[in-house]
């Protein structure tokens, strides 16, 4: 008969241990898991993403019911263990169920610590720890306006950001002088505070909460200095406490946590503890990586494998708030033995500090730019001797001449995915044995990259490295020249600071030194977006239409479509167009699909003269760029019109014309739901209604018809313009070249895009980024050719003999 293995606690550490055991020997045990919550195992780290609208509850479930069934695991859910008898080897649950075991793992985790002050039991006081807490917070955010978050640590700040995203006014109350004081030092903490203030969070620093005011429901907070703060909801995030009552009652040795040795054995025979409830060598860990390391040790032990024992972990932290990149690991306080070097970049608002003891890095604080986190973290873990490196080299980025450390050179035992504790060896093994060819497949099979996703670049590098020539069949690359995906290429462009197509092709080892007709325009676009100021547009990498500023036709001739913003024209323009068409014998004059007039069948060498004589600007009708805006006549003339659709269309066009996008970006503005401008099939469609404007995004009337989805309704034209700008920039930054907005939204998830565009702080940041990127670049190309600004007239020369 199989031995009975009982796991108390259906959370990340425990279930991970079971997974490790099953991987080693899936038939050794008859497994039962007792869970307190009503959900199957989920990724607790991602709760703040649920709160910030970045993920749904379903998305953070890591082991659905099916997983338990497939592995023959009995799940006793929503029924916490209440008593344990280590003599009889039996555990009792709340419902009275008695479960016998041969081996028992306690992984009860921890709970949010609720300050023992007056009023802490009031309605509206919430700890942030579980799915139910998160759902409660989301629900309360709908009903109430003001939130107070007690505790400016990791969880508190993520909760605060989430509540701001839910539309609440949020104040964080922190006892210490700077935020996240256990992970950050003062300068980094202050940078973080500034960035979070920009995102709408308010702070009360060095304040001690003494009382929660209210009768049945919370009304406010009172502090030790006598001041008060009004609040409708209070989030307690002052820390977590290991859940140990069950173990304590059963007579196990418990201090801060359940005491375990190097083999995760408690003081009782055949009882083990892992995760946040366990205390090893005086340390109780509250982060995920150590829990996974413990799980592996225990799995080895329970499947009779040689086991060295757990030696403790160096913990590292990063914060999941967009726009606040930080990383911290190890010892970050100076002492007689620990010295530090630091670099502060006031321009980029970034900061790095390394703590060094006996020629080894023992601590890291990075803020703003965390691109070096893997490099430093590995030096720390490997206890690399740095006496050879002078401080400047050490602080310099790897690309600036420091020591480059690609994941390819790591040891198999090195962790690539910190969230899920996946080593390089595991990933490489999976790629080899399971024939994986994409980052997504690696994530599915190994869990690496499944949580915060920061390591996906490393996984891509490993894929490229392992598959080598074999990747010719891998359908992952953007074209036949490479097996790298768009994301991998863009990531490396940033990380390696690749400034020209030539460098990209060389550094990323494209099979053709000069790329091909697919990747050349794509790389040129990615570089334009990545380094708008530094990268000089590569004309020879533009497709003919964008190089010649006209659509090439079957005959090899071109079309000329002048700009008429919002579809409005004048008698003078019409006269000019007529004259030019006659003079140059233009074979076809036609009204286009987006309310312009096109001249078709123009010889290349006539283009500059025609543009000169028209004296009009280009409508970009040939470009992967913001196209013209289609409008209906609107409130000024139409009896149904509610808004000035022509006026808004013209404003949108003026504001965004000549901005390059991954694919064409079409807009329409209609003044009522009859939608005469076909707003419902535009990349960005606006429909005027009585109280404002409905905004629809991701529509497409082309090859694959897609209905646009309602994003939101806003009151003012300015909001329409701001949301449009944010969408454009986000599309530019994350879109694959030649990907229309419909598949782009499908790929990223509508809810994700929506959350970004509707977040005031992100919207503002994206608009600022867009403005900076296109400053001085939104020029009419026809005028530039007419003035021969870049010797472009040569392009229109045809030799005749």
Question: Of 215, 473, 517, 703, which lies in the binding site for other proteins, with binding defined by CB under 8 A?
Answer: 517
DSSP secondary structure letter of residue 756: H
CA atoms of 123 and 357, how far apart (whole Å): 49
Question: Of 1, 347, 348, 801, which lies in the binding site for other proteins, with binding defined by CB under 8 A?
Answer: 801
SS3 call for 655: helix
Segment contacting other proteins by CB under 8 A, of 314-322, 356-364, 516-524, 741-749: 516-524
Question: Of 548, 602, 610, 742, which lies in the binding site for other proteins, with binding defined by CB under 8 A?
Answer: 548
- The C-alpha angle 110, 114, 128, rounded to 5 degrees, equals 60
Contact between 781 and other proteins by CB under 8 A: the answer reads no
Structure tokens at 222: 């009172």
Segment contacting other proteins by CB under 8 A, of 101-109, 376-384, 546-554, 655-663: 546-554
Nearest alpha carbon to residue 358 among 393, 331, 386: 386
Given the complex with other proteins, which of 53 and 557 has the nearer CB atom? 557
Given the complex with other proteins, which of 389 and 795 has the nearer CB atom? 795
CA atoms of 32 and 5, how far apart (whole Å): 6
Contact between 514 and other proteins by CB under 8 A: the answer reads yes
Does an H or E element contain 429, and which? Answer: helix 424-434
Contact between 800 and other proteins by CB under 8 A: the answer reads yes
The size of the chain, in residues, is 801
Determine whether 1 is exposed, middle or buried from the number of CB atoms within 10 Å of its CB (0-12, 13-18, 19+): exposed
Contact between 799 and other proteins by CB under 8 A: the answer reads yes
Given the complex with other proteins, which of 611 and 622 has the nearer CB atom? 622
Decide if 386 contacts 396 (C-beta within 8 A): no
Given the complex with other proteins, which of 622 and 782 has the nearer CB atom? 622
Residues in 127-166 that interact with other proteins by CB under 8 A: none
Question: Of 261, 404, 788, 797, which lies in the binding site for other proteins, with binding defined by CB under 8 A?
Answer: 797
Contact between 516 and other proteins by CB under 8 A: the answer reads yes
Q: Sketch the per residue contact string, 588 through 627, with other proteins: x for CB under 8 A, - otherwise.
A: ----------------x-----------------------
Given the complex with other proteins, which of 63 and 524 has the nearer CB atom? 524
Segment contacting other proteins by CB under 8 A, of 160-168, 193-201, 443-451, 537-545: 537-545
Given the complex with other proteins, which of 462 and 519 has the nearer CB atom? 519
Q: Residue 710: beta bridge partners? A: 696
Contact between 738 and other proteins by CB under 8 A: the answer reads no
CA atoms of 220 and 244, how far apart (whole Å): 32
SS3 call for 127: strand
DSSP secondary structure letter of residue 399: G
CB of 596 to other proteins, least distance (A): 23
CA atoms of 439 and 424, how far apart (whole Å): 14
Residues in 553-592 that interact with other proteins by CB under 8 A: 554, 556
607: Cβ contacts below 8 Å, ≥ 6 apart: 548, 549, 550, 558, 560, 785, 796
Given the complex with other proteins, which of 300 and 792 has the nearer CB atom? 792
Question: Of 127, 152, 295, 521, which lies in the binding site for other proteins, with binding defined by CB under 8 A?
Answer: 521
Segment contacting other proteins by CB under 8 A, of 47-55, 514-522, 581-589, 709-717: 514-522
CA atoms of 12 and 620, how far apart (whole Å): 53
Structure tokens at 263: 């083999």
CA atoms of 495 and 493, how far apart (whole Å): 6
Q: Sketch the per residue contact string, 287 through 326, with other proteins: x for CB under 8 A, - otherwise.
A: ----------------------------------------
Contact between 511 and other proteins by CB under 8 A: the answer reads no
Residues in 3-42 that interact with other proteins by CB under 8 A: none
CA atoms of 139 and 524, how far apart (whole Å): 46
Segment contacting other proteins by CB under 8 A, of 174-182, 450-458, 538-546, 592-600: 538-546
Given the complex with other proteins, which of 348 and 801 has the nearer CB atom? 801
Given the complex with other proteins, which of 567 and 662 has the nearer CB atom? 662
Residue appearing with tokens 């419909």: 742
Structure tokens at 43: 């990724």
**316-318 and 278-280 strand pairing:** unpaired
Given the complex with other proteins, which of 456 and 663 has the nearer CB atom? 663
Question: Of 513, 570, 571, 691, which lies in the binding site for other proteins, with binding defined by CB under 8 A?
Answer: 513
Segment contacting other proteins by CB under 8 A, of 121-129, 146-154, 550-558, 722-730: 550-558
CB of 514 to other proteins, least distance (A): 4
Question: Of 444, 547, 576, 754, which lies in the binding site for other proteins, with binding defined by CB under 8 A?
Answer: 547
Phi, psi of 616 (to 5 degrees): -125, 170
CB of 520 to other proteins, least distance (A): 6
DSSP secondary structure letter of residue 467: H
Decide if 66 contacts 109 (C-beta within 8 A): no
CA atoms of 284 and 291, how far apart (whole Å): 10
Nearest alpha carbon to residue 291 among 20, 6, 4: 20
475: Cβ contacts below 8 Å, ≥ 6 apart: 437
Contact between 452 and other proteins by CB under 8 A: the answer reads no
Segment contacting other proteins by CB under 8 A, of 308-316, 511-519, 638-646, 750-758: 511-519
Contact between 539 and other proteins by CB under 8 A: the answer reads yes
Sheet containing strand 271-273, strands side by side = 74-76, 29-34, 3-8, 103-106, 271-273
571: Cβ contacts below 8 Å, ≥ 6 apart: none
Number of chain residues interacting with other proteins (CB under 8 A): 26
Contact between 541 and other proteins by CB under 8 A: the answer reads yes
Beta-carbon count within 10 A of 104 CB = 28
CB of 396 to other proteins, least distance (A): 32
CB of 798 to other proteins, least distance (A): 5
Contact between 777 and other proteins by CB under 8 A: the answer reads no
Contact between 515 and other proteins by CB under 8 A: the answer reads yes
429: Cβ contacts below 8 Å, ≥ 6 apart: none
Determine whether 143 is exposed, middle or buried from the number of CB atoms within 10 Å of its CB (0-12, 13-18, 19+): exposed
CB of 616 to other proteins, least distance (A): 24
Given the complex with other proteins, which of 11 and 662 has the nearer CB atom? 662
Structure tokens at 796: 């229109």
Contact between 532 and other proteins by CB under 8 A: the answer reads no
CB of 551 to other proteins, least distance (A): 11
- The C-alpha angle 531, 533, 539, rounded to 5 degrees, equals 80
CB of 801 to other proteins, least distance (A): 4
**422-423 and 228-230 strand pairing:** unpaired
Contact between 473 and other proteins by CB under 8 A: the answer reads no
- Where in 578-691 does DSSP place strands (E)? 588-591, 597-602, 626-631, 665-670, 684-689
Structure tokens at 245: 């009552």
CB of 320 to other proteins, least distance (A): 41
Question: Of 97, 100, 544, 588, which lies in the binding site for other proteins, with binding defined by CB under 8 A?
Answer: 544
Does an H or E element contain 525, and which? Answer: helix 519-530
- Give Cα 6 to chain centroid, integer Å: 37
Question: Of 543, 584, 640, 658, which lies in the binding site for other proteins, with binding defined by CB under 8 A?
Answer: 543
Given the complex with other proteins, which of 524 and 675 has the nearer CB atom? 524
Residues in 40-59 that interact with other proteins by CB under 8 A: none
Given the complex with other proteins, which of 360 and 547 has the nearer CB atom? 547
- The C-alpha angle 454, 458, 460, rounded to 5 degrees, equals 110
Q: Which residues bind other proteins (CB under 8 A)?
A: 512-517, 520-521, 539-541, 543-544, 547-548, 552, 554, 556, 604, 794-795, 797-801
């Amino acid at each position: 008969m199989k031995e009975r293995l009982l796991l108390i606690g259906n959370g990340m550490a425990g279930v991970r241990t079971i997974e490790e055991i099953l991987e080693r020997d899936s038939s050794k045990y008859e497994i039962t898991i007792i869970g307190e919550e009503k959900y199957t195992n989920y990724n607790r780290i991602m709760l703040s993403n649920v709160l910030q609208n970045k993920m749904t509850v379903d998305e953070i479930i890591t082991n659905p019911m099916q997983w338990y069934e497939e592995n023959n695991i009995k799940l006793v859910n929503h029924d916490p263990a209440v008593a344990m008898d280590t003599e009889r080897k039996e555990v009792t649950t709340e419902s009275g169920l008695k479960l016998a075991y041969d081996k028992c793992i306690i992984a009860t985790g921890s709970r949010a610590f609720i300050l023992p002050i007056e009023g802490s039991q009031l309605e509206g006081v919430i700890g942030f720890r579980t799915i139910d807490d998160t759902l409660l917070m989301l629900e309360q955010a709908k009903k109430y306006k003001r939130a107070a978050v007690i505790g400016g640590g990791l969880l508190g700040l993520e909760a605060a950001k989430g509540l701001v995203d839910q539309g609440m006014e949020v104040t964080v109350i922190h006892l210490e002088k700077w935020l996240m004081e256990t992970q950050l030092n003062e300068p980094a903490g202050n940078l973080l505070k500034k960035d979070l203030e920009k995102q709408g969070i308010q702070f009360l620093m060095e304040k001690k909460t003494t009382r929660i005011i209210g009768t049945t429901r919370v009304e406010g907070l009172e502090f030790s200095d006598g001041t008060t703060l009004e609040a409708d909801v209070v989030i307690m995030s002052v820390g977590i406490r290991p859940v140990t009552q069950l173990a304590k009652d059963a007579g196990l040795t418990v201090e801060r946590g359940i005491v375990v040795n190097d083999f995760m054995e408690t003081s009782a025979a055949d009882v083990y503890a892992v995760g946040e409830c366990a205390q090893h060598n005086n340390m109780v860990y509250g982060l995920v990586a150590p829990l996974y390391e413990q799980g592996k040790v225990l799995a080895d032990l329970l499947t009779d494998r040689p086991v060295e024992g757990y030696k403790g972990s160096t913990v590292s932290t990063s914060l999941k708030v967009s726009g606040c990149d930080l990383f911290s690991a190890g010892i970050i306080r100076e002492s007689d033995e620990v010295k530090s070097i630091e670099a502060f970049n006031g321009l980029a608002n970034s900061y790095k500090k390394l703590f060094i003891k006996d020629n080894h890095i023992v601590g890291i604080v990075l803020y703003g730019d965390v691109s070096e986190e893997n490099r430093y973290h590995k030096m720390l873990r490997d206890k690399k001797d740095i006496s050879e490196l002078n401080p400047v080299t050490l602080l310099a980025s790897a690309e600036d001449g420091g020591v480059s450390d690609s994941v390819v050179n790591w040891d198999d035992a090195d962790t690539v995915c910190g969230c899920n504790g996946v080593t390089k060896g595991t990933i490489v093994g999976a790629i080899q044995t399971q024939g994986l060819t994409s980052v997504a497949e690696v994530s599915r099979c190994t869990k690496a990259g499944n949580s915060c996703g920061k390591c996906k670049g490393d996984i891509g590098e490993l894929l490229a490295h392992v598959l080598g020539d074999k990747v010719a069949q891998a359908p992952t690359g953007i074209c036949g020249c490479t097996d790298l995906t768009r994301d991998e290429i863009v990531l490396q462009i940033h990380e390696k600071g690749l400034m020209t197509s030539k460098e990209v092709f060389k550094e990323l080892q494209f099979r053709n030194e000069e790329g091909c007709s697919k990747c050349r325009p794509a790389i040129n676009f990615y570089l334009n977006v990545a380094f708008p100021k530094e990268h000089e547009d590569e004309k020879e990498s533009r497709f003919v239409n964008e190089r010649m500023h006209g659509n090439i036709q079957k005959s090899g001739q071109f079309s000329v479509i002048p700009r008429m913003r919002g579809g409005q024209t004048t008698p003078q323009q019409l006269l000019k167009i007529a004259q030019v068409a006659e003079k140059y014998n233009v074979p076809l004059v036609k009204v286009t699909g987006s309310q312009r007039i096109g001249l078709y069948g123009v010889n290349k060498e006539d283009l500059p003269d025609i543009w000169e004589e028209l004296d009009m600007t280009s409508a970009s009708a040939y470009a992967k760029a913001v196209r013209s805006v289609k409008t209906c006549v609107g409130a000024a003339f139409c009896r149904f019109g509610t808004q000035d659709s022509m006026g808004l269309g013209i404003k949108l066009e003026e504001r965004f014309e000549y901005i390059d996008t991954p694919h064409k970006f079409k807009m329409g503005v209609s003044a009522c739901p009859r939608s005469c401008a076909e707003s419902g099939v535009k990349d960005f469609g606006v429909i005027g209604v009585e109280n404002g404007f409905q905004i629809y995004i991701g529509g497409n009337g082309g090859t694959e018809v897609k209905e646009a989805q309602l994003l939101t309704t806003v009151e003012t034209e300015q909001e329409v313009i701001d949301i449009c700008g944010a969408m454009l920039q986000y599309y530019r930054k994350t879109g694959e070249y030649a990907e229309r907005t419909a598949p782009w939204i499908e790929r990223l998830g509508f809810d994700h895009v929506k959350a970004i565009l509707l977040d005031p702080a992100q919207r503002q940041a994206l608009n600022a980024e867009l403005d900076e990127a296109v400053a001085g670049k939104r020029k009419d190309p026809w005028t530039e050719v007419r003035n021969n600004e870049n010797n472009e007239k040569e392009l229109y020369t045809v030799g005749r003999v």
